Amino acid sequence: MFPIHDTIPSRTKPVVTVGLILANVVVFLYQLTLPEVALESFLQHFAFFPAHFLQAPLLSWERWQPVLTSMFLHGGFMHIVGNMWYLWLFGDNVEDALGHGRFLLFYLLCGIAAALTHALTNPASTIPTVGASGAISGVMGAYMLFFPHSRIITIVPLFLTWMTLAIPAYVFLGFWALLQIYNGMLLSADNLGGVAWWAHAGGFVAGMFIGPLFRRRLPRAPFRANF
């Protein structure tokens, strides 16, 4: 399934969402300019390594800096395109609900929660972890909680063709979250696929818990789905 758009318009301009997308794209373009040896050194310094994180002093910059910087690194074109599309699709409405400043803090906290989940579920891993997926998973968790009856217009492959469905957000995102947990139980990020499934699940749950704490208490017009 591939989501195209949702049915809830945003009341405000998603300046933080756009800023995060631009920051990720700029960093990725910089990565592309680096020779292989320089890129390896760059990742060693800025990517997240669960084993290194758990061994570093608790309150040291050495421990927490990669948690933050790894959120802005990506491993390839498909990786960044997929992540930025999901951030654009779900981020504007969550930013609208939280407010710009609180959305930025919320996003970073979800990314931190995702990294901690990955470290706890893969404590011996020395494989670099990069990507905004954990933070974006948090955005998706908050979206499902805030707008469960929104419709996600989704392309679904069907044999040799495809069809477009309007899927309720709680169904689309609930299925996505269960898929992360299922894959996390079966697969390891170190030995198959290189995907930090538990980081996604951890970020999603964090978004559901943190989102309501940050939500603005403003009246909202009744929801109307537009098809």
Tokens of 84: 């930025």
Domain 2-214: what homologous superfamily?
Answer: Rhomboid-like (1.20.1540.10)
Please state the domain extents for the chain. 2-214
Confidence of residue 108 (pLDDT cuts 50, 70, 90): very high
Q: Is the pTM of this model over 0.85?
A: yes
pLDDT tens track for 158-212: 777 888 899 999 999 999 999 999 888 876 544 445 688 899 999 999 999 999 9
Instruction: Please give the sequence-ordered ranges of beta strands (E in DSSP) within 126-205, or none if there are none.
Output: 151-158, 161-168
Q: In whole angstroms, give the CA distance from residue 95 to residue 12.
A: 9
Pairing of strands 161-168, 151-158: antiparallel
pLDDT tens digits, one per residue of 132-156: 999 999 999 999 999 999 999 999 8
Q: What is the pLDDT of residue 227?
A: 39
More confident residue, 226 or 46: 46
